[in-house]
Structure 1
Amino acid sequence: MSFSTRRSWMAVGVLLPLITLSACSPPTEQQKTQPARPSAELASFYGQKLAFGPCGDYATTPADAKLFTSGKTFECARLRVPLDYDDPDGKTAQIALLRVPARGASMGSLLLNSGGPGGAGMQFAVLTAGALARSPITERFDLIGFDPRGVGASEPAVDCLTDGELRSGELPYEFIVSAGTYTEADTRRLVERCAERSGGEQALAAIASRDTVRDMDVLRAALGDKQLNFFGQSYGTRIGTLYAEAFPRNVRAMILDGAVEPGLGLADRRLSQYAGFQRSFDQMAADCAKRPDCPLGADPSQATKIFQDSVRPLLKRPVPAGDGRRLSYDDAVNAVIGGLYAREAWPAITAGIAEVRAGRGDKLRQLGEAVSPSDGSGGNFVEANYAIACMDEERLTPRQVDEFEGRIHKVAPFVDSGRGVGGARDGCEFWPAKPKPAYPLPDRIEGVAPTLTISITGDPSTPYDAGVKLAEVLGGKVLAVDGEQHTILSSGKSACVNDIAATYLTTLQTPTGDSRCAL
């Protein structure tokens, strides 16, 4: 399973005022070209009029219910799209969206994606609007947060397990990087439950990122925009790039924050991700070692072993974690990984490790729940994450899974349970449709307007070099940001990043090679 950017941790930005922008170049022929006309079969979808209204009925969680009614200007609607674009006269799906109107004269819409896959876009629009409340971005653009197909308030939505089953962990979604042992019956049962509760096998077959990209173009037209303005973070950089590949002439501006490596398949990309987690774990251990009470010891080179010694006993004996719950080995490791997404969560991780060594798991359980709620309060993120990945990624045989797990243990030994390999499986092996691979991407996508990729030097999940490579694929510019966290623009906490992004969106000026920010 990929790890989401829907984190509760946001680092505080400390700025370097290096905001140098290149001169605005004249429009290219591509930029002057009108968007490609849709086929006759899709004309009714592209020509639909959105009926915006109050957002209260779109909430799928208590938090959304409160959030969606917190602003009088929020407007919501549903977009009708084909469930299967190869059968436009067949069943349809409904894409839920929330609009935060521009505070001033609008230049058009700015579509947002929060990451995941599986991240809800409607709440992301509200949160981003609040974080960028004083930015030219919210002054000049209508923010559009949409729940991608299968996610949140969109219909049909992925629903695999009851809230009770999620809490118990009876059927996990991560069958590879786990200490458990799983069988064909486990993976088959999970897929059957997903089909039963999510609208059938046809719905599960129509949830790929490439399907979402086509929805985005229908949404662009329904909003009345000739070209797309897009901001995506983490997984959102994947669908942004896929959109640029599918509809290059339809791109006006695109900001991609925390880029997913464009040239790697599933195994190599996840190995790169876990190597990044190990790097961040080592950084956290070095920071912790400066304090006399550090539970990982005074020698950072021994921190991985101390961590293993602390959590491996949970394999046989989970510890109490409050409210009658217990913390398992997988719970502990997943909580630590989630906390590594932002430096400000490091103290919570080390406090949780210290508590585990004392026989309790309350703190790591709380950290894990903050990152990825297992009681349904976080919507259907976990389930949608799993389902979309099944349609986006290559499938692995049991033998390939064993090899892959062994390679992960080498690059990220802190997640090694000590049980060796074997017993893991690809949770998508019985998915009812072949994947529509989202990666690897071409070495170059031609005909796209200038794009802006933001890449943080110490990003634990999407390495800095991945952003450089993505900028090369798109022929765009990369903005380097010195810091230790995953993504930055949506937090609004870096004036340096905010100013460069706003200038780019409003004028299409991209930063020069010496532009750099720091957190």
Structure 2
Amino acid sequence: MSAMWRRAGSILCALAVVSPMVLFVAPPASSATLAWSACDAMVGEAKARAVPTARCGSVAVPIDWTKTDWTKPEGAQANLAVIRIPATGDRIGVLMVNPGGPGASAVDTVAEMGAALAGSAITERFDLVGVDPRGVGHSTPQLRCRTDAEFDAFRRDPLADYSPAGVAHIEQVYRQFAQSCAQRMGTDFLAGVGTATAARDLDVVRVALGEPQISYLGYSYGTELGAAYAAQYPDRVRAMVLDGAIDPDLDPIEHRIRQMAGFQKAFTAYATDCARSPGCPLGTDPAQFVTRYHQLVNPLVQRPGPTSDPRGLSYQDAITGTVNALYSQRYWKFLTSGLLGLARGTDAEDLLLLADDYQGRDAAGRYTNQQDAFTAIGCVDSPYPADPASWAQLDRRAREVAPFLSYGPFTGFAPRDVCTMWPVPPTSSPHQASSPGPGKVVVVSTTGDPATPYSAGIDLARQMDAPLITFEGTQHTVVFNGDACVDTAVVDFLVDSESPPDGLRC
């Protein structure tokens, strides 16, 4: 299959970690309702035509679970968007899918998966279900902290100067973003978008579907949501596949360092492959790959690079476009084309398109809300150190493990993350995941995954007492992306509850 379901947020922002601090009880079945209709209005006519049996709807949940009695459902609510594609054969139950982010739309993903997996054992035996968490995708209210014009302006700023004055400027940009988010969404809404709440919301949808248990497939951040659900509702898990695992026991600093190291590994793999072709913009000497890359992108701090788009290519967009390409080898050719355009001084359009794809900008200049949701969810999912010294230390370590991402010399100063300025406190903290029971979970991890490094898969499998499927490759996530070895093992587990062989490597 050609689809790649989709990514965790990259090194450009920190990933979230969530703690199962409270075991929630689901609301009475009578209080969770779901009315179905055609999906055209939600996913668009083209996607709806590709899965004509799909039905869409929404489930209401309270903005603040602590202030709501389901017998008295007054107060502010959010509406979770839901898609369901019925099984075509001997039905087992529902397979809920979350594509990651946080902030990616499960509704859109399931619409695409339903078409791509048509005729497979998965669509025959399971209703495919996607639930957009509160604030995400097609759910309402949609979490938006900035306008399209404001996002464009943000991307034009290099955010690369780590002098004291430069750090002060970057932190002011972050502070303004946090304040804008509070003003536009309200602190009550922002306080309730964490992963623990999303897991509780997911169980409300289970009740509305009338299902005693769910099967679940989570990609990237979706593994974190799945692990949170398994901790809160272990008896409601039938089977769970977690692909592109996040280790919930890591603090944000350590997670970011490991992720940066993963992207450096992917960059080296890309550059090595590029060097096999004549005219590679990074040359043929491995010792010079990073230096050549800096020679191409660092001048963009002072002046945008050439593109047919009047925006030009900013420094921030060059880095974002590069990172996007490192998620999958199928994007490498576009990275090469963009870097060649920079080297020749002609047109680096492909790097800008890669950055637009990552940031969710369409040709008309409209953005999805994925990046705003990503930040808001991550900021309440873990505490971030507020002292500047921690972030200077992060910068020092990052330059060691991921030199291709570093600009200029180490200064001893670095901006604190936007989450240190967030208008609501974190609601969770790092923790170890727990098992919902023997034989219920399988973890999949890719050796060269840049966004969710392989070691996280090993750690998550150990914490959940689950078998690990290892995929040898350089990409982010693999299930149902065309590898027969992985897909056969996953289908056998989901359909027949057959665990993969010990130590399976694909």
- Residue 476 of structure 1 deviates from its aligned partner by 1.1
Correspondence 1:370 to 2:357: yes
Determine the structure 1 residue equivalent to 2:184. Answer: 197
Query: Contact 2:61–2:78 at 8 Å: present in 1 too?
Result: yes
Instruction: Quote the Cα distance in structure 2 between the aligned partners of 1:490 and 1:355.
Output: 34
- Residue 392 of structure 1 deviates from its aligned partner by 1.1
Query: Contact 1:110–1:229 at 8 Å: present in 2 too?
Result: yes
Determine the structure 1 residue equivalent to 2:487. Answer: 498
- Residue 208 of structure 1 deviates from its aligned partner by 0.4
After TM superposition, list the pairs within 5 Å mapping 1:465-484 onto structure 2: 465-484=455-474
Instruction: Quote the Cα distance in structure 2 between the aligned partners of 1:104 and 1:378.
Output: 38
Q: Which amino acid aligns with 2:32?
A: Q
Query: Contact 2:98–2:217 at 8 Å: present in 1 too?
Result: yes
After TM superposition, list the pairs within 5 Å mapping 1:131-280 onto structure 2: 131-169=116-154, 181=167, 182=169, 185-198=172-185, 200-280=186-266
Determine the structure 2 residue equivalent to 1:395. Answer: 384
Flag as ranges the 4+ runs of structure 1 deviating above 6 A.
174-180
Q: Which amino acid aligns with 1:193?
A: S
- Residue 515 of structure 1 deviates from its aligned partner by 2.9
Q: Which amino acid aligns with 1:216?
A: L
Output the TM-score relative to the length of structure 1.
0.86
| Deviation by residue 1:235-255 (Cα, 9 ceiling, x = unmatched) | 000111111111122211000
Q: Which amino acid aligns with 1:461?
A: A
Determine the structure 1 residue equivalent to 2:298. Answer: 312
Query: Contact 2:383–2:429 at 8 Å: present in 1 too?
Result: no
Paired residues, number: 475
Correspondence 1:452 to 2:448: no
SS of 2:444 mapped into structure 1:
strand
Determine the structure 2 residue equivalent to 1:20. Answer: none
- Residue 511 of structure 1 deviates from its aligned partner by 0.6
Q: In structure 2, do the counterparts of structure 1 residues 167 and 363 end up closer, same or farther at CA, with 3 Å as the change threshold?
A: same
**Aligned Cα RMSD in Å?**
2.4
Give ranges in structure 1 of 5+ residues lacking alignment. Answer: 8-35
Correspondence 1:424 to 2:415: yes
Q: In structure 2, do the counterparts of structure 1 residues 6 and 512 end up closer, same or farther at CA, with 3 Å as the change threshold?
A: closer
- Residue 140 of structure 1 deviates from its aligned partner by 0.5
Could you tell me which of 288, 310, 314 is aligned with 1:302? Answer: 288
Query: Contact 2:171–2:418 at 8 Å: present in 1 too?
Result: no
Determine the structure 1 residue equivalent to 2:40. Answer: 56
Query: Contact 1:249–1:448 at 8 Å: present in 2 too?
Result: no
| Deviation by residue 1:393-419 (Cα, 9 ceiling, x = unmatched) | 222323322221221121100000115
Query: Contact 1:372–1:378 at 8 Å: present in 2 too?
Result: yes
Determine the structure 1 residue equivalent to 2:428. Answer: 437
- Residue 371 of structure 1 deviates from its aligned partner by 2.9
Q: Which amino acid aligns with 1:486?
A: H
| Deviation by residue 1:341-374 (Cα, 9 ceiling, x = unmatched) | 0012112212211211222421211122233333
Q: Which amino acid aligns with 2:378?
A: A
SS of 1:169 mapped into structure 2:
helix
Structure with the bigger RCO (C-alpha within 8 Å, sep 6+) is 1
Q: In structure 2, do the counterparts of structure 1 residues 205 and 262 end up closer, same or farther at CA, with 3 Å as the change threshold?
A: closer
Output the TM-score relative to the length of structure 2.
0.88
After TM superposition, list the pairs within 5 Å mapping 1:95-134 onto structure 2: 95-134=80-119
Q: In structure 2, do the counterparts of structure 1 residues 363 and 171 end up closer, same or farther at CA, with 3 Å as the change threshold?
A: closer
- Residue 58 of structure 1 deviates from its aligned partner by 2.4
SS of 1:327 mapped into structure 2:
coil
Q: Which amino acid aligns with 2:403?
A: P
- Residue 170 of structure 1 deviates from its aligned partner by 6.3
Instruction: Quote the Cα distance in structure 2 between the aligned partners of 1:142 and 1:178.
Output: 51
Determine the structure 1 residue equivalent to 2:72. Answer: none
Fraction of identical pairs, as percent: 36
Could you tell me which of 468, 476, 488 is aligned with 2:478? Answer: 488
| Deviation by residue 1:205-229 (Cα, 9 ceiling, x = unmatched) | 1100111010111111211111121
Instruction: Quote the Cα distance in structure 2 between the aligned partners of 1:6 and 1:177.
Output: 31
Q: In structure 2, do the counterparts of structure 1 residues 178 and 254 end up closer, same or farther at CA, with 3 Å as the change threshold?
A: farther
SS of 1:86 mapped into structure 2:
helix
- Residue 257 of structure 1 deviates from its aligned partner by 0.6
| Deviation by residue 1:85-108 (Cα, 9 ceiling, x = unmatched) | 211244221111111111213211
Q: In structure 2, do the counterparts of structure 1 residues 132 and 178 end up closer, same or farther at CA, with 3 Å as the change threshold?
A: farther
Determine the structure 2 residue equivalent to 1:68. Answer: 48
Q: Which amino acid aligns with 2:121?
A: P
Q: In structure 2, do the counterparts of structure 1 residues 72 and 131 end up closer, same or farther at CA, with 3 Å as the change threshold?
A: closer
Instruction: Quote the Cα distance in structure 2 between the aligned partners of 1:363 and 1:264.
Output: 35
- Residue 171 of structure 1 deviates from its aligned partner by 9.0
Give ranges in structure 2 of 5+ residues lacking alignment. Answer: 8-22, 70-74
Instruction: Quote the Cα distance in structure 2 between the aligned partners of 1:266 and 1:244.
Output: 22
- Residue 160 of structure 1 deviates from its aligned partner by 0.9
Q: In structure 2, do the counterparts of structure 1 residues 513 and 184 end up closer, same or farther at CA, with 3 Å as the change threshold?
A: closer
- Greater mean deviation of Cα atoms: 386-395 or 420-429: 420-429
Query: Contact 1:175–1:426 at 8 Å: present in 2 too?
Result: no
